[in-house]
Amino acid sequence: MPRSRLWDLLTYAVLVILSAVCILPILWTLLTSLKYEADIVTREMIYWPTRITFDHYVTLWNQSNYPVLVVNSLVVTTVTVAICLVTGTVASYAFARFRFPGRMPLMMGYLVVRMFPAVMMIIPLFVVMRQVGLLDSRVGLAIAYTSFLLPLFVWMMKGFFDAAPKELESAARIDGSTRLGAMVRIVMPIARNGVLATCIFVAIAAWNEFLFALMLTTSQGSRTWPVGLQLMVGEFQLPWGMLAAGGIISILPVIVLFALIQRAMVAGIAAGAVKG
Amino acid sequence: MIGELSETRYWMYLLLLPSLLLITAVVLYPTIYGIQMSFREMRLNRPDLGTGFVGLKHYQRMLNDPIFWLSLRNTAVWVTFAIILEFLIGLIAALALHRNLPGSRIFAVMILLPFFLPNVVAGHMWSLMLDPRLGVINDLLLKAGLIDSYRAWFADPATAMAAAILVEAWKSFPFFTLLILAGLKGIPTDLYKAASIDGAGPVAQLRLITLPMIKTIIAAAVILRVIGLVNSPDLLLVLTSGGPGRSTMVLSLFAFQTAYRDFNFGYASALSVVMFILLMIFAWIYIRLSRINQE
């Protein structure tokens, strides 16, 4: 066998093993969520159930506050993305297109901010949010999320703007367009995929976030699903089947979004991290 | 009207203003507030104590607090072993994906996926699989003859940290894969051609071309991951809550619980300030040693 064939074989072996290690825990959780409780709690492990049920999903959805938690998470995620989109896009555009005094220090500032420990932020944020009445509110939590997601958004988005050609913009300017006009009508459509990828990355991060939400929400009205799920485990000894069902419901949107825009998102994350 | 404004020379500052205001409000102000809080008494469950200035009291307490020193040691173990595992697996995955064989795209989706999953769900997935009574991993290991009875991986101080590190490595190795893959794309293929003409085998090529070329990216990835590992106690909070017997208590978790469970905001702030300073010192030394700033 020629040597390159051997390497191809080895490569596939590595890829198959790693993919299996990554995917099997998710599949096992999916399988658990579809098993009857009697098939989960057994003396002899049942690997492939002979019967399946959607009871865990139905019970979780109808008899717990999971729908409320999911709606809260959706609201927090949407508001977070909206804030990042509005404030972050223009900031990253400024960094990508203009050279001005203070540019480097400001960019470095956005980078250093990412190193601040979450715990160090959460404790004072709790006190500050309580003072201004934003504690235990979905908007307050979204604002808190921007503390680590906005810098991320700016760096990632800057990479996409850097990659967008400048010539069309110059042409529009020569044709009498203002800088604002060129930005809105020329650059934004070109960078559309980048904006989408960055927004999805931020959305996934906000949707998944646990620590800030645990500290900054205290009631049903604003609690997000990761906190709710964790509390259900602690308080009601949530059965494995329902816990697995909750996990699957919650990661479904993440998996779908990730699979759809994986390439652009991965490129953006790499660019944002490496240039820093 | 804004169109006209965009022609002035302050336009870029105007574009930056909203995000700067926001960062000031949610990052800078709370940070300063937090540092200041570490010199104050602040216990939410003891309002009678007030919020007076107590100087270095919290920092002195820390020096004599055995839990602090234990958490510091655990943090070092947690970060060191997780980084080594994540880097090695991440590198192997990136090298394999970079060969771009047919099917690589779908493999990439599967391999990168864990990094995007929520810690809460990742934690419970593994708690389920490592469960002392129902865990599939116990069953598999038993059938393979590697253990002679089901083990309580997270309840045994001897295995809890190792099990948690494995879960963490599973979740975050794709971060290295992602960055290294981006780095590999930037290496000119001519280099490899020249090397193979000179008779360098795959191992020599990896050592002499690939690793030196992606040195900067590896350094950046390590720094970012160390920051992530030191700062976020999420996964440990879900898996072990620091137990059993504080065998998996790390600094970030200790600080978080001091605030969340004991409501001692002053001490918790002092702990996180120390954590931040240690992280900065590490980052500074590391950057000097790896010389990423020279390239």
| Mean pLDDT to the nearest integer, B41-48 | 81
The residue ranges of every structural domain in chain A are 1-53, 57-274
Task: Considering only the beta carbons, identify the residue of B13, B103, B114 that sits closest to A22.
Answer: B114
| Probe site for chain A from B125, B254, B256, B275 (most A CB atoms < 10 A) | B125
Among A residues 220-249, those touching chain B with beta carbons less than 8 Å apart: 226, 229-230, 233, 240, 243-244, 247
- Within 13 Å and on the Cβ side, how many CA atoms surround B149? 1
User: How high is the mean pLDDT of chain B?
Assistant: 89
pLDDT at A138: 93
Report residue B209's pLDDT band, with 50, 70 and 90 as the boundaries.
Answer: confident
Report the C-alpha gap between B293 and B295 in whole angstroms: 6
Would you call A36 an interface residue with chain B, using a CB distance cutoff of 8 Å?
Answer: no
Q: Taking a C-beta distance cutoff of 8 angstroms, is the pair B222, B183 a contact?
A: no
A276 pLDDT more than 60: no
Kindly list the residues from chain A whose CB atom is less than 8 angstroms away from the CB atom of residue B280. 115
Average pLDDT, integer, range A88-106: 90
Residue B46 or residue A90, greater confidence: A90
Separation in Å, CA A142 to CA A80, A156, A203, B293? 5, 19, 11, 35
Question: Would you call A147 and B26 a contact, using CB atoms and an 8 Å cutoff?
Answer: yes
Residues above pLDDT 70, as percent of chain A? 97
- Residue pair B94/A228 in contact (Cβ under 8 Å)? The answer is no
User: pLDDT tens, A192-219?
Assistant: 888 898 999 999 999 999 999 999 998 8
Who has greater pLDDT, B202 or A93? A93
B291 — phi, psi (to 5°)?
50, 40
Express as a percent the part of chain B with pLDDT over 70.
98
Give the pLDDT confidence score for residue A37 in this predicted structure. Answer: 84
**What average pLDDT is seen over chain A?**
88
φ/ψ (deg, to 5) at A265? -65, -45
Q: How confident is the model at residue A1 (pLDDT cuts 50, 70, 90)?
A: low
Which pLDDT belongs to residue B194? Answer: 86
Q: Residues, chain A, total?
A: 276
State how far residue A210 is from chain B, nearest Cα, in angstroms: 7
Please check the confidence at residue B146 and state whether its pLDDT lies above 90: no
Distance from CA of A91 to the nearest CA of B (A): 5
Beta bridge partners of A176: none
Residue of A nearest to B180 (CA): A270
pLDDT digit string (tens) for B9-29?
788 898 999 999 999 999 999
Query: pLDDT at residue B293 above 70?
Result: no
Most confident of A52-56, A235-239, B12-16, B81-85: B81-85
Q: Calculate how close chain A gets to B158, using CA atoms only, in Å.
A: 24
Which residues of A fall within a CB distance of 8 Å from B18?
86-87, 90-91
Phi and psi, residue A120, nearest 5°: -65, -30
Say whether pLDDT at B43 is over 70: yes
Average pLDDT on A1-7 reads: 74
Predicted pLDDT at A2: 63
Question: What's the pLDDT score for residue B292?
Answer: 54
Give the model's pLDDT for residue A70.
94
Q: Quick one: which of A136, A129, A132 has its CA closest to A76?
A: A136
Classify residue A235 as exposed, middle or buried by CB count within 10 Å of its CB (0-12, 13-18, 19+). Answer: exposed
Residue corresponding to tokens 């720094």: B223
H/E run at residue A15: helix A3-34
CA A50 – CA A17 distance, rounded (Å): 27
**Which of B8, B15, B44, B286 is best to mutate for the A interface (most A CBs within 10 A)?**
B15
Which range (A111-115, A198-202, B91-95) has the least confidence?
A111-115
- B43 strand-pairing partners: B264
Q: How far apart are CA A197 and CA A260, in angstroms?
A: 10
Per residue in B100-144, pLDDT tens? 889 888 999 999 999 999 999 999 999 999 988 888 998 899 888
Class of residue A141 by CB neighbours under 10 A (exposed 0-12, middle 13-18, buried 19+):
buried
B135 in Cβ contact with B150 (< 8 Å): yes
pLDDT higher than threshold 80 for residue A236: no
Q: What is the pLDDT of residues B239-284, one digit of tens each?
A: 998 878 899 999 999 999 999 888 999 999 999 999 999 998 988 8
CATH architecture of the domain covering A57-274: Orthogonal Bundle (1.10)
Q: Chain A interface, mutation test: which of B5, B8, B23, B101, most A Cβ atoms within 10 Å? A: B23
Domains, chain B, with CATH or none = 38-294 (1.10.3720.10)
pLDDT of residue B35: 92
The predicted pLDDT at position A271 comes to: 74
Are the C-beta atoms of residues A229 and B120 closer than 8 Å to each other?
yes
Half-sphere exposure of B41 (CA within 13 A, CB side): 10
Query: Cβ–Cβ contacts within 10 Å for residue B257, how many?
Result: 20
For the segment A42-59, what is each residue's pLDDT rounded down to a tens digit? 878 888 888 888 988 998
Mean pLDDT over A175-189 rounds to 84
Q: Is it true that the peptide bond before A25 is cis, omega within 30 degrees of 0?
A: no
Q: What is the pTM of this model?
A: 0.90
Q: Which range is least confidently modeled, A35-44, A150-159, A244-253? A: A35-44
Arithmetic mean of pLDDT, A118-136? 89
Q: What integer is the mean pLDDT of A103-129?
A: 86
Q: Would an 8 Å CB–CB cutoff place A150 in contact with chain B?
A: yes
Element (H, E) at A183: none
**Could you tell me which residues come within 8 angstroms of residue B281 by beta carbon, excluding any fewer than 6 positions away?**
none
3-state secondary structure chain B: CHHHHCCCCCHHHHHHHHHHHHHHHHHHHHHHHHHHHCCECCECCCHHHCCCECCCHHHHHHHCCHHHHHHHHHHHHHHHHHHHHHHHHHHHHHHHHHCCCCCHHHHHHHHHHHHHCCHHHHHHHHHHHCCCCCCHHHHHHHHCCCCCCCCCCCCCCCCHHHHHHHHHHHHHHHHHHHHHHHHHHCCCHHHHHHHHHCCCCHHHHHHHHHHHHCHHHHHHHHHHHHHHHHHCCHHHHHHCCCCCCCCCCCHHHHHHHHHHCCCEHHHHHHHHHHHHHHHHHHHHHHHHHHCHHHC
How many residues would you count in chain B? 295
The per-residue pLDDT for A142 is 95
pLDDT of residue B117: 94
Nearest CA in chain A to B25: A147
Instruction: Give the residue carrying structure tokens 């979004």.
Output: A257
